[in-house]
Amino acid sequence: MSSPIVDPSACSGVSRRSFMRIAAATSALATMPIFTESRLAFAQRPRFAKSDSGIHIDANENPLGPSEKAREAMTAIIPKGGRYEFNMQMDLAETFAKIEGLDPESVMPYAGSSEPLHYTVLAFTSPSKPLVIGDPGYEAPMWAAKVTKAPVLKVPLADPKGAATHDVKAMLAASTTPGVIYICNPNNPTGTVTSTADIEYVVANAPKGTIVMIDEAYIHLSDVPSSLHFVKEGKDVVVLRTFSKLYGMAGIRMGFAVARPDILKQLTPLGGQNSLPITAIAAAKASLLDTELVSSRR
């Protein structure tokens, strides 16, 4: 039986446009919701007679779900669900750090990567420190910038031979005082990659104090090298990682912000100090230790 193909124009309920108008109205408040792909997709999702009707690709979810080893780890940890397990959280950061050759103090676990994405924009942009972002690009950083009243400078992607990569020289030229330069690599929504050389150029030439935020939500689905080495080198860089894509844990919520410890400390007052769900921590560690998972799913 074939699944229905749904015209987005037939969506019922609140539209993305009206959803964003509501969001804009709330930006005058001291805080605002953290916008994620799931929330943006929900704003325009059609209503089906049954919740499992149709093929949903609007929120970039992985229908495979968690790996078998991650499921086993979650099941095994359930009896400890009545406890806060801060040591597990520290152990997860240390596990990731060891795999990637990082200082554990430079790895901060979060419930997904959307929280540190927003916190970075909140911490480092202001009316005099704009957010510079590729266009088209992932919308969430722009909504965070509304809280700090930071200008949002959208720089069209370059298009050499249809590659649609970030135009790094134009992004640097967009402002003399950028607070955050955001690069999603691979890019959402184009799926294209920006070369290591281009990212190195941004990091090397960004004004002092500017944070280059590199969102690697889709890094495992490509052959592009990671930008984690910038953190090892002590650069003004925040690298975001999530378990929501290749690892199939979107609904479980786990991710990392990777940066110098002094940068991470500036994110802490904005949120993320509570204990994380131990099921998510267990699943994330099991996924990291499954050395065949990334290659097989890619």
| DSSP codes joined into one string, 111-132 | SSSHHHHHHHHHHH-BTTB-EE
Domain at 68-297: CATH code: 3.40.640.10
Q: Which residues belong to CATH 3.40.640.10 in the chain?
A: 68-297
CA gap 215, 217 in Å, rounded? 6
Render pLDDT for 174-221 as a digit per residue (tens, 0 to 9): 999 999 999 999 999 999 999 999 999 999 999 999 999 999 999 999
Confidence of residue 17 (pLDDT cuts 50, 70, 90): very low
56: Cα separation from own chain's centroid:
20
- b/e 241-256 (16+ beta carbons within 10 angstroms → b): bbbbbbbbbbebbbbb
Q: Which two tokens stand for residue 227?
A: 């930008």
Specify the length of the chain in residues: 298
**What was the pLDDT predicted at 274?**
77
How far, CA to CA in Å, does 26 sit from each of 13, 92, 138, 159, 186? 20, 35, 20, 36, 30
CA gap 99, 288 in Å, rounded? 8
Confidence of residue 272 (pLDDT cuts 50, 70, 90): low
Q: Which two tokens stand for residue 62?
A: 């992985």
CA gap 149, 147 in Å, rounded? 5
Render pLDDT for 20-75 as a digit per residue (tens, 0 to 9): 444 443 344 345 556 566 555 555 556 655 566 677 777 788 989 999 999 999 99
CA gap 86, 89 in Å, rounded? 5
Report the amino acid identity of residue 124.
Answer: F
Quote the percentage of the chain above a pLDDT of 70.
82
Q: Can you give the pTM of this predicted structure?
A: 0.84
- Burial degree of 105 (CB within 10 A; 0-12, 13-18, 19+): middle
How far, CA to CA in Å, does 193 sit from each of 148, 221, 266, 271? 29, 11, 29, 30
